[in-house]
Amino acid sequence: MNYWLMKSEPDVFSYADLVKKGKAEWDGVRNHAAQLHMKAMRKGDLAFFYHSNIGVEAVGIMEIVEEATPDSTDETGKWIAVHVAPHKKLDRPVTLKTMKADPALADMVMLRQSRLSVAPLTPQQFEHIVALSKA
């Protein structure tokens, strides 16, 4: 089982929108590094839903329910998407500020490369952020 963090601007698509829909295609990713991570995703993997620009925080956990399929918003046939479903809303959001200030998360790929919209997490990092959401 692998763990991930995926970014979306909440005024475009928020965690609440995903809960409303029940299942959604995570499309529009046009970055090769992010695409590689999405290709590595397996059914049952868990990912934080992170709100970029507005909120700037992880707000919920989602589950990968369908592995790489062609991105329906892409006409070139080059890009893939995955399908996700809500898993659990965090008791309280974990802000970027909190993550940056935490030594246990210093090696997080997302912190080191802030523009990467899909980033992997170690199981330890994942559990740590879950714990922070309950603190």
| Minimum distance from residue 86 beta carbon to DNA (Å) | 21
| Minimum distance from residue 30 beta carbon to DNA (Å) | 7
Among candidate residues 21, 22, 20, 25, the one with its CA nearest the CA of residue 6:
25
Q: In angstroms, rounded to a whole number, what is the distance separating the alpha carbons of residues 102 and 65?
A: 31
Complex with DNA: residue 68 or 96, whichever CB lies closer: 96
Complex with DNA: residue 14 or 117, whichever CB lies closer: 117
| Minimum distance from residue 7 beta carbon to DNA (Å) | 5
Under rule CB under 7 A, residue 9 binds DNA: yes
| Minimum distance from residue 53 beta carbon to DNA (Å) | 5
Under rule CB under 7 A, residue 33 binds DNA: yes
Under rule CB under 7 A, residue 97 binds DNA: yes
User: Are 100 and 90 in contact, with CB atoms under 8 Å apart?
Assistant: no
Under rule CB under 7 A, residue 16 binds DNA: no
Under rule CB under 7 A, residue 56 binds DNA: yes
Which CA distances in Å does 43 have to 3, 88, 91?
Answer: 11, 16, 24
Q: In angstroms, rounded to a whole number, what is the distance separating the alpha carbons of residues 13 and 88?
A: 17
Under rule CB under 7 A, residue 42 binds DNA: no
User: Are 50 and 4 in contact, with CB atoms under 8 Å apart?
Assistant: no
Neighbouring residues of 115: CB distance < 8 A, sequence distance ≥ 6: none
Binding site for DNA (CB under 7 A): 7, 9, 30-33, 52-53, 56, 96-97, 100, 113-117
